[in-house]
Amino acid sequence: MSERHAIPKRIRATALAMLLLGFFALPVFAEYGDVILNHRAEQEGMRPVIYPHWFHRIRFRCKVCHNELGFEMRAGANDITMADIIDGKFCGMCHNGQVAWSVENCDICHSGRKGLKTRIMGGHETGGPGRW
Amino acid sequence: MGQHGKARWYSLALFFTGLWLPGPLFAEWTPLAEDGLHDPDNPALEVMQNPGDALSRLPRDDAGDVGNKVRWVQALEQGYIEPRTNIFPETKIEVLDLDIIMKHTGSTAYVRFPHKPHTEWLDCSNCHDKIFKMKAGETPLSMLAILSGEYCGRCHGAVAFPLVLCNRCHSVPPDTLENKVNQRQ
């Protein structure tokens, strides 16, 4: 009797741990290169902004944004405000009803979960062991 | 009996973890509503594109679940995508076909830096002279700095293919002909 139970107990604990992990972990599988912009958005009552590189690079080469339009290549380095965008700067250079749909589609840009921090996903902080 | 009990617990655990693991392990693209980043209650998700809908139609990266799982250079070269080069008509578009072989690689293969695919995507000013000097061998490169997000690591590991793909950069074994020719110069 006791011999029959000795091993399964440990197995059971492992199995349970695996189950719990499966149910409760909230893994993040964001697409590589997604940028979260949340300097001010959430403080001002909007969801954080998610900018998808994969979607835009199908339509534009890097040089369009990072040379012509002058976006700095560092997550969080561009101090973007909604007023700038409405004025036709940053995202507003395209999201102006001409190159792409215009600013009234708030929820398409402001699409992130609450509490996200400004950063790039899949980048050096997350990929690989430790920092890399 | 004990053996069976053990097997039962294991198969149950494997079944449930199995439900959860396939996404990351078997290299499919995660829909926006399930990626842990987008708010699943946002009504706009319905009009937005899921990565898999677009990326599954591009040349697949045979390295597996890395980056966007797409060979972007091939997608562009082979005409799967035609991303715009400019918005303002007066912008000058420059492409340069020049490979640079970098040899301070210790015992690993040398690095070939190809200007062609880079300048298809990027402007000279994205790299020169902010990140790299315009003279071969002048930039103090090292793998540690790259892994910390400098030099090649500004883009590789963020938007371009990630640094785990060593061979894609370290692509010139020291004993190849190409390299011997290069060495003599």
CA distance B58 to chain A (A): 10
Taking the CB of residue B26, how many other CB atoms lie within 10 A of it?
9
CA distance A121 to A33: 6
Chain-chain contact of A62 with B2 (C-beta, under 8 angstroms): no
Which of the pair, B128 or A7, is modelled with greater confidence?
B128
Question: Encoding tokens for residue B6?
Answer: 């053990």
pTM summary value: 0.90
Res A59: pLDDT: 98
Residues in Cβ contact with A118 at an 8 Å cutoff, skipping those fewer than 6 apart = A36, A37, A38, A39, A48, A75, A76
Return the top range by mean pLDDT from A118-127, B70-79, B166-175: B70-79
- Taking every pair of Cα atoms in chain B, the longest distance, rounded to a whole number of angstroms, is 79
Residue ranges per domain, chain B? 1-57, 90-185
Assess contact for B163 and A128: CB atoms under 8 A: yes
Confirm or reject CATH 3.10.690.10 for domain B90-185, answering yes or no.
no
Chain-chain contact of B49 with A107 (C-beta, under 8 angstroms): no
Q: Which residues, numbered 39 to 78 in chain B, qualify as contacts with chain A under a Cβ-Cβ cut-off of 8 Å?
A: 39, 42-45, 47-49, 51, 54-55, 67-68, 70, 72
Residue ranges per domain, chain A? 34-121
Cα-based angle B35, B36, B39 (whole degrees, multiple of 5)? 100
Helix, strand or coil for residue A117? coil
What would the pLDDT profile of B31-85 be if each residue is shown by its tens digit? 999 999 999 999 999 999 999 999 999 999 999 889 999 999 999 999 999 999 9
pLDDT range class, residue B28, cuts 50, 70, 90: confident
Res A28: pLDDT: 72
Assess contact for B89 and A30: CB atoms under 8 A: no
CA distance B142 to B140: 7
Res B138: pLDDT: 96
Question: Encoding tokens for residue A72?
Answer: 């700095």
Would an 8 Å CB–CB cutoff place A82 in contact with chain B? no
Res B174: pLDDT: 84
pLDDT range class, residue A106, cuts 50, 70, 90: very high
Closest CA to A106 of B49, B38, B42: B42
pLDDT at A14 over 80: no
Res A17: pLDDT: 59
> A34-121: what CATH class?
alpha beta
**CB-based burial, A96-120: b 16+ in 10 Å, e otherwise:** beeeeeebeeeebbbbbbeebebeb
Res A7: pLDDT: 52
Lowest-pLDDT range, A29-33, B11-15, B123-127, B167-171?
B11-15
Assess contact for B185 and B101: CB atoms under 8 A: no
CA distance B48 to B24: 22
| Main-chain phi, psi angles of A51, to 5 degrees | -105, 120
Question: Encoding tokens for residue B28?
Answer: 């499919």
CA distance B82 to A112: 29
In three state form, how does the secondary structure of B72-110 look? Answer: HHHHHHCCCCCCECCCCCCCCCCCCCCEEEECCCCCCCE
pLDDT at A8 over 80: no
- Name the average pLDDT for chain A: 83
Res B175: pLDDT: 75
Helix, strand or coil for residue B160? strand
CA distance B32 to B156: 23
Which of the pair, B22 or B132, is modelled with greater confidence?
B132
Res B16: pLDDT: 54
Would an 8 Å CB–CB cutoff place B145 in contact with chain A? no
CA distance B99 to B90: 28
Res A9: pLDDT: 64
Q: Which residues, numbered 16 to 75 in chain A, qualify as contacts with chain B under a Cβ-Cβ cut-off of 8 Å?
A: 16, 18-19, 21-23, 25-34, 36, 47, 50, 52-55, 57-64, 66-69, 73, 75
